[in-house]
Chains A and B, each alone.
Chain A
């Protein structure tokens, strides 16, 4: 008998929380913006920093008077735990329940590829950092009208590092080691190989590894045989760091060509194994422009941005792009904001002046910084690099 009451209690408890979770308030004098980031999944390090940057940017903006003649921005945040389904549910909730006028999405290709078509249905624009071009362009000549990217796409970044390696560093023989289960890694590896080979280089090995792998020695030993001049890694921070350390242990001292996951705290985590790594990034920690935001972040959150300063910039700049669009739209209306976003021209953000290409919803001419890690320092080799096309 007692256990019956227990199960009844459990049911009531659950129902009560479901019902209380259902209340939705509609603010009158505020502009509601949603943010979907990864707070607890595999990319939580970056997601939390990105999210914090958004929080701080909103606070700063509200302090300066808000938008549209004094309306405050209300930020509603959700954690999608690095899972596509969670992100989709969060987006639905933001649009239908929380009634936001725009969403700041995650820098997660797989998620945005699934969300972009949903955004077409629900008609609330999303600005994200998802680098895979397929999340913006479903087919030739088409574009997802409600999704905007505010950093160079995977193609652009892969080609940037390939171009730099080939033309500035004279490297012609490369091996690639990538996480086969990570869409972001795969979306960088393929264009790199393509560009590299098209412009006369050789890719001696295109080695995948299974997600969850922590010991890369079999693949590395295989690569060592083929004697490349450099190894290109396109994975998340933890994997890149382990790869670098294991490479050095096996006596492989060739250079590492990295991706934007190699920004700070890569050198701190991986130590001297990664000296000499060259990678493309939207914002380097040594950049003079980064100093003030870094300090401001540290003061506001009591710790350094664990996900790297570039994520602070991305979070902040995405909000800036959105804020500019809202002002130009003149009203807190998703359609108007979308149109304004599409016509963004020379919008002032921390990284650079952003102009969105209406045909692709990607920024035009967004320069990348090429960084080399020397003795644990992030040295800028070129702060406005664009790939060479022949």
Chain B
């Protein structure tokens, strides 16, 4: 049981980070390869303020998010003006720089050898709460004007600008939002696996998160959550297949992206309305069959 709780915690943390990427890449169409860097900043700030300065851990994680909120506009300011590809590159460079800085300042961060003995504060319930809160906030974001503006920017920036949307300001808001979610995930993870080093969160972390969003469907928040759940569970289930499991995982992704580019869930969103709709559909068809077969009403 405990194994499943641990697994659920790790997957939940991943969901938080992926939802952040959903906001940035799914809704707004920006490709940020620097999420790993933000996770690292959030994690290190949280852990160091807790372990060295004795800050209680919930506050420490919040401080981590604050640190990210300070750094991300600095990164975003020059890079968000750039074309899509160049933005990706700038954020990629940022992620690498964070790793390198982490390695340089050995006194502070423990350097390459990492910080060990981080107390475990995260557990499955805290993560579940955080996941719930994150999904709730992001769903509201998506359905609000902010969300619609994002979609507009994703489709066509020039027209969005022409329609009066402050494209740059909007991109900045979304970027900071997604980055702070990454910071949250990073802090939670550090307090869970007892260990932190500058290499854990790297460009491949960011890339994997982007792939998960595309796999689930860039229009669907439910999709990116579902895809994270599925594709994180998959390697675990296939643990016996060791290396082939990653090959299979990659094949799944390529297949979906090719044959169903709208992603696993397309535009589908899980909501009260959709659940009600599904239920009534199933009831309606049953009623229909009943009336057909018996001729009664």
Chain A positions within 8 Å of B, measured between CB atoms, are 3-4, 6-7, 10-11, 14-15, 17-22, 39-40, 78-79, 84-85, 88-90, 92-93, 95-97, 109-110, 113-114, 116-118, 121-122, 132, 134-135, 138, 180-183, 186-187, 210-211
Contact = CB atoms under 8 A, between A and B. Distances in A.
Nearest to B234: A14
A122 B22 CA distance: 35
Contact of B259 (A3, A17, A19, A40): A3
A113 B234 contact: no
Contacts of A110: 113-114, 195, 197
19 contacts: A7-B260, A7-B264, A11-B264, A14-B233, A14-B252, A15-B230, A17-B238, A39-B242, A79-B242, A89-B10, A110-B195, A113-B114, A113-B116, A114-B116, A118-B193, A138-B117, A180-B112, A183-B114, A183-B197
B3 A11 contact: no
Main SS class of interface, A: helix
A117 B194 contact: yes
A40 B243 contact: yes
Nearest to B262: A3
A181 B113 contact: no
Interface string B228-249: 0011011011111011000000
A183 B199 CA distance: 11
A20 B237 contact: yes
Interface in B1-20: 1-4, 6-7, 10
Nearest to B265: A7
A85 B10 contact: yes
Interface of B: 1-4, 6-7, 10, 100, 103, 111-114, 116-118, 120, 193-195, 197, 199-200, 226, 230-231, 233-234, 236-240, 242-243, 252, 255-256, 259-260, 262, 264-266
Contacts of A19: 237
A109 B114 CA distance: 10
B111 A95 contact: no
Contact of B193 (A15, A39, A85): A85
A342 to B, nearest CB: 20
B194 A118 contact: yes
Contacts of A11: 226, 230, 264
Given A10-B264, A183-B112, A183-B197, 6 more contacts: A4-B266, A21-B236, A95-B3, A114-B193, A117-B117, A117-B118
A134 B117 CA distance: 9
Contacts of B231: 14
Given A14-B252, A187-B113, A89 B236 contact: yes
Nearest to B261: A3
Contacts of A21: 236-240
A221 to B, nearest CB: 22
Given A7-B264, A89-B7, A181 B112 contact: yes
B36 to A, nearest CB: 13
A369 B19 CA distance: 54
A236 B193 CA distance: 26
Contacts of B239: 21, 78, 90, 93
Contact of A183 (B113, B193, B264): B113
A85 B6 CA distance: 11
A10 B200 CA distance: 30
Interface centre among A4, A39, A90 (most CB of B within 10 A): A4
Interface centre among A110, A116, A122 (most CB of B within 10 A): A110
A187 B44 CA distance: 21
A43 to B, nearest CB: 14
Interface centre among A3, A114, A135, A181 (most CB of B within 10 A): A114
B3 A92 contact: yes
A13 to B, nearest CB: 8
Nearest to A8: B264
Contact of B243 (A79, A90, A186): A79
B184 to A, nearest CB: 18
Nearest to A79: B242
A21 B240 CA distance: 8
A10 B113 contact: no
Nearest to A40: B243
Contacts of A90: 239
